[in-house]
Amino acid sequence: MEGVNVSTHPEIPGEPTQTSTALLEKATAAIQGFGPVNKIHQHLCAFHFYGHDMTRQVEAHHFCGHQNEEFRQCLIYDRPDDDGRLIGLEYLVSEELFLTLPDEEKRFWHSHEFEVKSGVLFMPGVPGPIQRQDLEKVAKTYGKVFHFWQVDRGDTLPLGIPQVMMALTREGQLYQNLARDVERRYNVSFEKESENRAYMTGPAHGIHPMANGGGRGLQTVLREVECKPVGVDHSAARVFV
């Protein structure tokens, strides 16, 4: 797919971090523990598109940690340096766990087989033979992603409600200039890596038909409904779902 490079890095409004704030951060960092963050063990680079609009594609840097052999969780940034914006979260589960989900829930999860075998999902800076040991497992998993910050449209702050995202599932979906830009910056070749991963396989039962949106677009929306809270008899309350 041809198109513009929609991955942007808008400047965040606000005053620069003061020296006093930086010193305070150093002090608290020396005292406190950061267990959940310290479990992060790998950096994956891939691409996401909005569940309702494949033309909006975003470079996504995942910083992931295992909870166990069948479940890992990732913080997603728009870039991997100190200036990266936290734009989303992704959960990865094994095929076995995915199959336990209700069918309606399965629609929110995407497969990873094509991402991995095409070479577009990779570990920056890690030698191919080493990263392929783990990516063999990733190819069999499913992921659920929400982005909170729509940096692709230039938002300088995280606006609106979280949006469900999807991943590439076949050739021709990814903007070629976006792909070339990432290949250039990280000195990788998706085509060459795809050849090296040809032996890999996806889920044992094949990609589930309800995954990847069940073949339809998905969008999270906010709507207002009337309901009566428990224990309140005299009036209805408005809530958002």
pLDDT in tens, 97-150: 999 999 999 999 999 999 999 999 999 999 999 999 999 999 999 999 999 999
- pLDDT value at 20 more than 90: no
Each residue of 86-110: b (16+ CB within 10 Å) or e? ebbbbbbbbbeebeebeeeebbbbb
pTM across the whole model:
0.87
* More confidently predicted of 209 and 229: 209
d(CA 206, CA 66): 24
CA 229 to chain centre: 35
Strand ranges inside the chain, DSSP E:
42-50, 53-68, 71-77, 86-93, 109-111, 142-147, 163-166, 224-227, 237-240
Measured in degrees and rounded to the nearest 5, phi and psi for residue 102 equal -60, 150
- pLDDT value at 6 more than 70: no
Q: Kindly report, residue by residue over 159-195, the tens digit of the pLDDT.
A: 999 999 999 999 999 999 999 999 999 999 999 999 9
d(CA 34, CA 28): 11
Each residue of 222-235: b (16+ CB within 10 Å) or e? eeeeeeeeeeeeee
